Amino acid sequence: MNPSDAIVGLPFTKASACGNDFLLVEGAGAAGDLAEITRRMCDRHRGVGADGVEWLFPDAQADVRARLINADGSEAEISGNGTRCVAADICSRADRIEPKTEVLVRTGAGLKTCRLVARRGFTFEFETDMGRPDVAGQLAIETDRGRVQGMNVSMGNPHFVIFVEEFPDGWQRQAASIGQQPQFPQGTNVEYVVSRGGHEIEIRLFERGAGETESSGTGSCAAAVAAIASGRVASPVKVIAPGGPQTVRWENQVYLQGPATLVCRGEFFV
């Protein structure tokens, strides 16, 4: 075999937070275009399959720096669920030395603290300090499926939250169209929200760079914040997504609680 033809294995951990799945990879071990490697790894038929890759790097002030690249190769500021998956991986590895109950992750949206509140095998439950939301107010968008009204919310990344009585047929096509509108030059995540009253909402999610997902940490936060700000529910809020529930409380800062499960570890042949 020609030495140049040798197979290079890139170690990864796969983790899932309410069905929102990520690959966790040490960035220093990857040679080449990270966006292209991410697209290959996230392909659900020819790769490992995931909504994105959290590329991990050393950080002087945090346990780790996480750079998130979506399944389509685009970069995102943060994923709440992805950050929780990173924290679960760090906690599992720390077991060999000294158990950790708090993990500090540097993201593109700043430092995030994940506090371990429970563990069951390879499933770790964290409450994460997601920072202060920016609620920009109502915005009307014209799409090829009609006019839609929503609320702009930033959780360090952009969200457009739409309140509906029930989830409309073909909402995915409308959500994709919304993300391409000129009001969102960097794109946006879109959440459709049904208020159940009291302390509960149900959501559907269309994420920038990944499409429809089972869950989203920042999406759950943005939807809960919008529902609280508009007087539909009160904090804390149970957010029900297809992949499972998470809890959001808003007390100046936003706190997100939910699970992250380590699925497997392996090598991807670059």
* Cis peptide bond upstream of 133, omega within 30: no
Distance of CA 108 to the CA centre of its chain: 12
Mean pLDDT in runs of 10 for the chain (270 residues)? 67 98 94 94 98 97 97 97 98 80 97 97 97 94 87 97 96 94 94 96 97 97 98 98 98 96 96
The pLDDT, as a whole number, for residue 5 is 59
The pLDDT, as a whole number, for residue 83 is 98
| Residue 159 and residue 105 share a domain | no
Q: How many domains does the chain have?
A: 2
The pLDDT, as a whole number, for residue 6 is 62
| Residue 242 and residue 173 share a domain | yes
Burial of 150 (0-12, 13-18, 19+ CB in 10 A): buried
Instruction: Provide the CATH number for the domain around residue 182.
Output: 3.10.310.10
| Residue 145 and residue 126 share a domain | no
Cβ atoms within 10 Å of 207's Cβ, excluding its own: 28
Residues 228/237, Cβ–Cβ less than 8 Å: yes
Identity of the amino acid at 1? M
| Residue 116 and residue 139 share a domain | no
Residues constituting the chain? 270
| Residue 119 and residue 140 share a domain | no
Domain that holds residue 179: 134-251
| Residue 31 and residue 101 share a domain | yes
| Residue 120 and residue 143 share a domain | no
| Residue 205 and residue 159 share a domain | yes
* CA-to-CA separations, 69 to 22, 24, 232, in angstroms, rounded: 10, 11, 34
| Residue 46 and residue 84 share a domain | yes
| Residue 186 and residue 116 share a domain | no
| Residue 78 and residue 21 share a domain | yes
The pLDDT, as a whole number, for residue 143 is 82
State both tokens at 174: 């409308």
Identity of the amino acid at 21? D
| Residue 115 and residue 145 share a domain | no
pTM, rounded to two decimals: 0.93
